[in-house]
Amino acid sequence: MIPIERTLLYSVIAVYLFITLAPLLWVLSTSFKPNQEAISFPPKLLPDAPTLDNYLFVLTDPKLVTSLFNSLLVSIGSTGLSVAVSALAGYAFARFEFKGKNLLMSLILGLFMIPVVINIIPLYIMLANVGLLNSLLALILTFQILIIPLNIFLLKNYFETIPKELDEAALIDGCSKLRALWHIIVPISMPGFLIAAILSFRFSWNEFVLPIVLSNKPDVMVFQVALYQFISLYRIDWGYLTAGINIALIPVVVLMLFAQKRMIRGLTLGAVRG
Protein backbone atom coordinates (compact mmCIF):
# COMPACT_ATOMS: atom_id res chain seq x y z
CA MET A 1 0.00 0.00 0.00
CA ILE A 2 1.40 3.39 -0.92
CA PRO A 3 2.05 5.82 1.99
CA ILE A 4 -0.47 8.44 0.81
CA GLU A 5 -3.19 5.84 0.74
CA ARG A 6 -2.28 4.69 4.23
CA THR A 7 -2.29 8.26 5.57
CA LEU A 8 -5.69 8.86 4.02
CA LEU A 9 -7.15 5.70 5.58
CA TYR A 10 -5.78 6.54 9.01
CA SER A 11 -7.02 10.12 8.89
CA VAL A 12 -10.56 8.99 8.04
CA ILE A 13 -10.42 6.64 11.02
CA ALA A 14 -8.92 9.29 13.30
CA VAL A 15 -11.61 11.83 12.46
CA TYR A 16 -14.42 9.38 13.07
CA LEU A 17 -12.87 8.00 16.25
CA PHE A 18 -12.79 11.56 17.54
CA ILE A 19 -16.47 12.05 16.67
CA THR A 20 -17.30 8.75 18.36
CA LEU A 21 -15.32 9.16 21.53
CA ALA A 22 -15.33 12.90 22.25
CA PRO A 23 -19.00 13.05 23.40
CA LEU A 24 -18.52 10.03 25.65
CA LEU A 25 -15.32 11.37 27.20
CA TRP A 26 -16.92 14.78 27.69
CA VAL A 27 -19.85 13.23 29.54
CA LEU A 28 -17.43 11.11 31.56
CA SER A 29 -15.39 14.16 32.55
CA THR A 30 -18.52 16.13 33.46
CA SER A 31 -19.78 13.39 35.73
CA PHE A 32 -16.87 14.09 38.09
CA LYS A 33 -17.63 17.82 38.32
CA PRO A 34 -19.93 19.49 40.83
CA ASN A 35 -23.04 20.87 39.13
CA GLN A 36 -22.02 24.56 39.00
CA GLU A 37 -18.80 23.57 37.32
CA ALA A 38 -20.62 21.21 34.92
CA ILE A 39 -22.46 24.11 33.29
CA SER A 40 -19.81 26.77 33.75
CA PHE A 41 -18.90 28.70 30.65
CA PRO A 42 -16.25 28.58 29.28
CA PRO A 43 -16.24 24.84 30.00
CA LYS A 44 -13.22 23.19 31.55
CA LEU A 45 -11.85 20.08 29.92
CA LEU A 46 -11.13 18.33 33.21
CA PRO A 47 -12.76 18.81 36.62
CA ASP A 48 -10.88 21.13 39.00
CA ALA A 49 -11.41 18.84 41.93
CA PRO A 50 -12.82 15.49 40.78
CA THR A 51 -15.63 14.32 43.00
CA LEU A 52 -17.70 11.15 43.26
CA ASP A 53 -20.67 13.03 44.73
CA ASN A 54 -22.76 12.72 41.57
CA TYR A 55 -22.39 8.95 41.54
CA LEU A 56 -23.14 8.75 45.24
CA PHE A 57 -26.29 10.83 44.72
CA VAL A 58 -27.58 8.61 41.91
CA LEU A 59 -26.71 5.39 43.70
CA THR A 60 -28.45 6.46 46.91
CA ASP A 61 -31.59 7.97 45.38
CA PRO A 62 -34.27 5.38 46.23
CA LYS A 63 -36.22 5.86 42.98
CA LEU A 64 -33.15 5.51 40.81
CA VAL A 65 -31.88 2.50 42.72
CA THR A 66 -35.25 0.76 42.39
CA SER A 67 -35.24 1.49 38.68
CA LEU A 68 -31.72 0.11 38.25
CA PHE A 69 -32.83 -3.06 39.97
CA ASN A 70 -35.97 -3.20 37.76
CA SER A 71 -33.88 -2.74 34.63
CA LEU A 72 -31.61 -5.57 35.62
CA LEU A 73 -34.55 -7.85 36.41
CA VAL A 74 -36.38 -7.07 33.18
CA SER A 75 -33.25 -7.37 31.03
CA ILE A 76 -32.25 -10.72 32.50
CA GLY A 77 -35.82 -12.02 32.34
CA SER A 78 -36.39 -11.00 28.75
CA THR A 79 -32.96 -12.26 27.68
CA GLY A 80 -33.61 -15.65 29.26
CA LEU A 81 -37.09 -16.01 27.80
CA SER A 82 -36.12 -14.93 24.30
CA VAL A 83 -33.02 -17.10 24.11
CA ALA A 84 -35.01 -20.13 25.28
CA VAL A 85 -37.91 -19.81 22.85
CA SER A 86 -35.61 -18.73 20.01
CA ALA A 87 -33.38 -21.76 20.55
CA LEU A 88 -36.37 -24.08 20.13
CA ALA A 89 -37.50 -22.24 17.00
CA GLY A 90 -33.97 -21.97 15.62
CA TYR A 91 -33.52 -25.71 16.12
CA ALA A 92 -36.74 -26.38 14.21
CA PHE A 93 -35.48 -24.26 11.31
CA ALA A 94 -31.98 -25.75 11.35
CA ARG A 95 -32.77 -29.46 11.69
CA PHE A 96 -36.27 -30.12 10.37
CA GLU A 97 -37.89 -30.03 6.97
CA PHE A 98 -41.48 -28.92 7.18
CA LYS A 99 -44.16 -27.28 5.10
CA GLY A 100 -43.97 -23.51 4.92
CA LYS A 101 -40.47 -23.35 6.41
CA ASN A 102 -39.03 -20.76 4.04
CA LEU A 103 -42.17 -18.66 4.09
CA LEU A 104 -42.21 -18.67 7.88
CA MET A 105 -38.55 -17.70 8.12
CA SER A 106 -38.93 -14.72 5.78
CA LEU A 107 -42.10 -13.73 7.63
CA ILE A 108 -40.20 -13.68 10.91
CA LEU A 109 -37.41 -11.60 9.38
CA GLY A 110 -40.04 -9.31 7.87
CA LEU A 111 -41.61 -8.83 11.30
CA PHE A 112 -38.23 -7.67 12.52
CA MET A 113 -38.60 -4.74 10.17
CA ILE A 114 -41.94 -3.63 11.62
CA PRO A 115 -41.24 -0.84 14.05
CA VAL A 116 -42.51 -1.43 17.55
CA VAL A 117 -43.46 2.22 17.93
CA ILE A 118 -46.47 1.66 15.71
CA ASN A 119 -47.70 -1.02 18.09
CA ILE A 120 -47.51 0.97 21.30
CA ILE A 121 -51.09 2.19 21.17
CA PRO A 122 -52.74 -1.23 20.63
CA LEU A 123 -50.30 -2.78 23.12
CA TYR A 124 -51.23 -0.16 25.70
CA ILE A 125 -54.96 -0.82 25.27
CA MET A 126 -54.43 -4.59 25.20
CA LEU A 127 -52.39 -4.63 28.41
CA ALA A 128 -54.80 -2.22 30.11
CA ASN A 129 -57.60 -4.65 29.33
CA VAL A 130 -55.86 -7.66 30.86
CA GLY A 131 -54.57 -5.66 33.83
CA LEU A 132 -50.89 -6.06 32.97
CA LEU A 133 -50.23 -2.36 32.54
CA ASN A 134 -47.48 -1.12 34.84
CA SER A 135 -45.87 -4.46 35.52
CA LEU A 136 -42.39 -5.77 34.86
CA LEU A 137 -43.94 -8.86 33.27
CA ALA A 138 -45.52 -6.64 30.60
CA LEU A 139 -42.06 -5.38 29.73
CA ILE A 140 -40.49 -8.83 29.63
CA LEU A 141 -43.24 -10.04 27.29
CA THR A 142 -43.33 -7.03 24.99
CA PHE A 143 -39.52 -6.81 24.73
CA GLN A 144 -39.67 -10.23 23.09
CA ILE A 145 -40.91 -8.72 19.85
CA LEU A 146 -37.74 -6.64 19.67
CA ILE A 147 -35.39 -9.58 20.02
CA ILE A 148 -36.97 -12.92 19.12
CA PRO A 149 -36.66 -12.50 15.32
CA LEU A 150 -32.98 -11.59 15.57
CA ASN A 151 -32.28 -14.41 18.02
CA ILE A 152 -34.01 -17.04 15.87
CA PHE A 153 -31.92 -15.87 12.92
CA LEU A 154 -28.63 -15.95 14.86
CA LEU A 155 -29.23 -19.29 16.56
CA LYS A 156 -30.55 -21.02 13.44
CA ASN A 157 -27.39 -19.98 11.60
CA TYR A 158 -25.22 -21.15 14.46
CA PHE A 159 -26.93 -24.54 14.68
CA GLU A 160 -26.47 -25.02 10.95
CA THR A 161 -22.69 -24.81 11.33
CA ILE A 162 -22.77 -27.86 13.60
CA PRO A 163 -22.32 -31.08 11.59
CA LYS A 164 -25.59 -33.02 11.37
CA GLU A 165 -23.68 -36.27 12.03
CA LEU A 166 -23.23 -35.26 15.67
CA ASP A 167 -26.89 -35.27 16.60
CA GLU A 168 -27.67 -38.07 14.17
CA ALA A 169 -25.29 -40.27 16.13
CA ALA A 170 -27.17 -39.38 19.29
CA LEU A 171 -30.50 -40.15 17.60
CA ILE A 172 -29.26 -43.60 16.61
CA ASP A 173 -28.27 -44.18 20.22
CA GLY A 174 -31.93 -43.67 21.07
CA CYS A 175 -31.90 -40.04 22.10
CA SER A 176 -35.03 -38.06 21.29
CA LYS A 177 -34.58 -34.94 19.18
CA LEU A 178 -35.23 -32.71 22.14
CA ARG A 179 -32.63 -34.50 24.20
CA ALA A 180 -30.19 -34.24 21.32
CA LEU A 181 -30.79 -30.50 21.32
CA TRP A 182 -30.19 -30.24 25.03
CA HIS A 183 -27.21 -32.59 25.36
CA ILE A 184 -25.40 -32.13 22.04
CA ILE A 185 -26.35 -28.89 20.33
CA VAL A 186 -26.68 -26.57 23.30
CA PRO A 187 -23.23 -27.26 24.80
CA ILE A 188 -21.46 -26.84 21.45
CA SER A 189 -23.42 -23.69 20.62
CA MET A 190 -22.43 -21.72 23.70
CA PRO A 191 -20.64 -19.01 21.65
CA GLY A 192 -23.80 -18.54 19.58
CA PHE A 193 -25.94 -18.37 22.71
CA LEU A 194 -23.55 -15.82 24.14
CA ILE A 195 -23.96 -13.45 21.18
CA ALA A 196 -27.74 -13.85 21.25
CA ALA A 197 -27.85 -13.22 24.99
CA ILE A 198 -25.62 -10.14 24.85
CA LEU A 199 -27.60 -8.59 22.00
CA SER A 200 -30.88 -9.34 23.82
CA PHE A 201 -29.55 -7.75 26.97
CA ARG A 202 -28.47 -4.67 25.06
CA PHE A 203 -31.91 -4.25 23.44
CA SER A 204 -33.76 -4.80 26.72
CA TRP A 205 -31.51 -2.58 28.82
CA ASN A 206 -31.72 0.30 26.34
CA GLU A 207 -35.42 0.15 25.47
CA PHE A 208 -37.29 3.33 26.29
CA VAL A 209 -40.42 3.66 24.17
CA LEU A 210 -42.21 0.56 25.45
CA PRO A 211 -41.45 1.15 29.15
CA ILE A 212 -42.33 4.85 29.14
CA VAL A 213 -45.76 3.97 27.82
CA LEU A 214 -46.43 0.58 29.40
CA SER A 215 -44.79 0.85 32.78
CA ASN A 216 -44.12 4.32 34.17
CA LYS A 217 -45.19 4.06 37.81
CA PRO A 218 -42.36 4.56 40.33
CA ASP A 219 -42.10 0.98 41.59
CA VAL A 220 -42.03 -0.59 38.09
CA MET A 221 -39.93 2.03 36.30
CA VAL A 222 -36.77 1.05 34.44
CA PHE A 223 -33.59 3.09 34.57
CA GLN A 224 -33.88 4.78 31.16
CA VAL A 225 -37.35 6.05 32.06
CA ALA A 226 -36.30 7.04 35.58
CA LEU A 227 -33.49 9.19 34.17
CA TYR A 228 -35.96 10.84 31.80
CA GLN A 229 -38.44 11.53 34.63
CA PHE A 230 -35.58 12.73 36.77
CA ILE A 231 -34.83 15.57 34.37
CA SER A 232 -38.46 16.48 33.77
CA LEU A 233 -39.14 16.72 37.50
CA TYR A 234 -36.21 18.80 38.68
CA ARG A 235 -34.40 21.41 36.69
CA ILE A 236 -31.66 19.53 34.87
CA ASP A 237 -28.72 18.89 37.12
CA TRP A 238 -26.08 17.90 34.63
CA GLY A 239 -23.65 16.61 37.22
CA TYR A 240 -26.15 14.00 38.43
CA LEU A 241 -27.44 13.29 34.95
CA THR A 242 -24.01 12.60 33.44
CA ALA A 243 -23.27 10.26 36.33
CA GLY A 244 -26.57 8.48 35.61
CA ILE A 245 -25.65 8.26 31.93
CA ASN A 246 -22.38 6.54 32.75
CA ILE A 247 -24.04 4.11 35.12
CA ALA A 248 -26.51 3.21 32.35
CA LEU A 249 -23.65 2.79 29.89
CA ILE A 250 -21.31 0.58 31.85
CA PRO A 251 -23.09 -2.80 31.57
CA VAL A 252 -23.79 -2.64 27.85
CA VAL A 253 -20.49 -1.15 26.76
CA VAL A 254 -18.54 -3.73 28.73
CA LEU A 255 -20.64 -6.56 27.30
CA MET A 256 -20.40 -5.28 23.74
CA LEU A 257 -16.65 -4.72 23.81
CA PHE A 258 -16.37 -8.26 25.07
CA ALA A 259 -18.59 -9.62 22.32
CA GLN A 260 -18.05 -7.40 19.30
CA LYS A 261 -15.62 -9.64 17.42
CA ARG A 262 -17.84 -12.66 17.86
CA MET A 263 -20.88 -10.60 17.02
CA ILE A 264 -19.61 -9.65 13.60
CA ARG A 265 -18.65 -13.24 12.99
CA GLY A 266 -22.13 -14.31 14.13
CA LEU A 267 -23.80 -11.94 11.70
CA THR A 268 -21.41 -12.95 8.93
CA LEU A 269 -22.22 -16.60 9.48
CA GLY A 270 -25.69 -15.88 8.17
CA ALA A 271 -24.38 -13.57 5.52
CA VAL A 272 -21.97 -15.98 3.87
CA ARG A 273 -24.71 -18.39 3.20
CA GLY A 274 -27.21 -15.74 2.15
Partner 1 sequence: MILKLEARAGILQPYLLLVPALSILVGFLLFPLMWNIYISMHNVSLTTILGEWKYVGFKNFSNLLHDPDFHKSLQVSLLFVGGSVALQFFVGMVLAVVLNQHIWGSNAFLALIIIPWTVSAVITGFSFKFIFSDSFGVLNYVLEQMGLNPVAWLSDPEVVVWTLVIANMWHGTPFTVIFITAGLFSISPVVYEAARIDGATKIKSFFYITLPLLRPFIIINLILITMWSVNFFDLILVMTNGGPLFASTTSSLYMYRQAFEFGLLSKGAAVGFLLIGLNLVLAYSYIRLFGRQEKTVEIRQR
Which residues ranging from 204 to 263 are in contact with partner 1 (CB under 8 A)? 205-209, 212-213, 224, 227-228, 231, 238, 241-242, 245, 248-249, 252-253, 255-257, 260-261, 263
For residues 90 and 151, the answer to whether their CB atoms sit within 8 Å is: yes
Q: Report the site for partner 1 in 66-85 (rule: CB under 8 A).
A: 84-85
Site string for partner 1, 155-184 (x = CB under 8 A): ----------------------x-------
* 119 binds partner 1 per the rule CB under 8 A: yes
Determine the Cα–Cα distance for residues 241 and 58; give it in Å rounded to an integer. Answer: 8
AA letter at 125? I
Q: How far is the CB of 45 from partner 1 (least distance, A)?
A: 9
Are the beta carbons of 100 and 255 closer than 8 angstroms? no
Report the residue from 57, 59, 73, 124 that binds partner 1 according to the rule CB under 8 A: 124
Distance CA 14, CA 6 (A): 12
CB 92 → partner 1: shortest distance, Å?
Answer: 4
Please report whether residue 152 would count as binding partner 1 according to CB under 8 A: yes
Q: Which residues, numbered 36-55, are part of the site for partner 1 (CB under 8 A)?
A: 39-43
**Among 96, 64, 81, residue whose Cα is nearest residue 230:** 64
Coil/strand/helix, residue 1: coil
Where does this chain touch partner 1 (CB under 8 A) — which range of 5-13, 51-59, 161-169, 183-191? 5-13
Binding test (CB under 8 A) with partner 1, winner from 104, 171, 186, 188: 104
Cα–Cα distance for residue pair 30/26, rounded to 1 Å:
6
Number of residues that bind partner 1 (CB under 8 A): 97
Among 89, 133, 139, smallest CA distance to 111 is for 89
Question: Shortest CA distance to 153 belongs to which of 111, 100, 117, 96?
Answer: 111
